[in-house]
Structure 1
Amino acid sequence: MDLGDRLKGAGKRLTPQRRLVLEAVERLGHATPDEVLAQARAAQPSLSLSTVYRNLEVLEELGLVRHAHLSDRAPTYHSVGGHEHFHLVCRTCGAVISVGPDLLAPLLQRLDADHGFVPDVGHLTVFGTCRDCR
């Protein structure tokens, strides 16, 4: 199902702004709303930050983007078109490392078995110190 059909199925339209926001997220990889705005404004200079936030919310509701908190500032958005992953963030240099959920498999199984709990891995961020900064 393409983007237009997916939006229509959810009662939404594929607006030029929505397409620009999604394309910006996909191009940037991991981006804050401000970074998405800067990228999208190259194509549409009149785009506002509130429009970016509204469209990120819609795109997240549709499962096209996800957000994670990689700092104490604004959330960071990324496309779900790639692989499911969680994030390691170095507190020293700010490096962000994407890690596949298979690394967490034993923990996820244990959380389910012991607590009946299934975590949302895409929102998981682990802060620490990277190899280079140690």
Structure 2
Amino acid sequence: MTTDPDGTATDWKSDLRQRGYRLTPQRQLVLEAVDALEHATPDDILCEVRRTASGINISTVYRTLELLEELGLVSHAHLGHGAPTYHLADRHDHIHLVCRDCTTVIEADLDVAADFTEKLRATFGFETDLKHFAIFGRCGTCATAGPAEDPEDPVAATGAATAKTGGKGPGEK
């Protein structure tokens, strides 16, 4: 069981029963892991579940996540090149702001993208579903810390190499 932002309790068992499913131990463990970890990959969820039930395998986690998403209890987003991350769907709809430097994930209300979605609707007749939307950049902390190092930028790479080699650039003796 979890608590909605408005303070009301969400009872997973009742929710599943109303839809014709039981809250099995595996489903409960996966839901509890998703709730505790917030934005977690299936592997993260498996590690959390195995703290309680070592016999659970990754295919059980994937099947359970698929069912829970079909039932509207969890939602996923792609926050990088790896596996999707899952979070409880009963929380407010939001977009994800992902820091490329420290990997922090910030949940931003959909209203911050209202002008953007309206522009897409007006220009293309396109209705957006931003629940799976992630914007990549740098968080305030990392941006304040200084410029990001770009390994593709030869100037930045040389500067980084100079700093790491005691003032000598690549190929210098």
What TM-score results when the alignment is normalised by the length of structure 2? 0.71
1:1-134 matched pairs, under 5 angstroms? 2-134=11-143
Q: What is residue 156 of structure 2 aligned with on the other side?
A: none
Q: % of aligned pairs identical?
A: 51
Q: 1:132 to 1:5 in 2, by over 3 A?
A: closer
| Higher gyration radius (CA) | 2
How many pairs align?
134
Which sections of structure 1, spanning at least 5 residues, go unmatched? none
How many angstroms does 1:45 deviate by?
1.1
Give 1:116 shift.
2.5
* TM-score for the superposition, normalised by structure 1: 0.90
Structure 1 match to 2:163: none
Output the CA distance in 1 between the equivalents of 2:141 and 2:14. Answer: 45
Greater relative CO (CA pairs within 8 A, separation 6+): 1
DSSP-derived class of the 2:76 partner: strand
Bigger mean CA deviation after superposition, 23-32 or 8-17:
8-17
Q: Which runs of 5+ in 2 are unaligned?
A: 1-9, 144-173
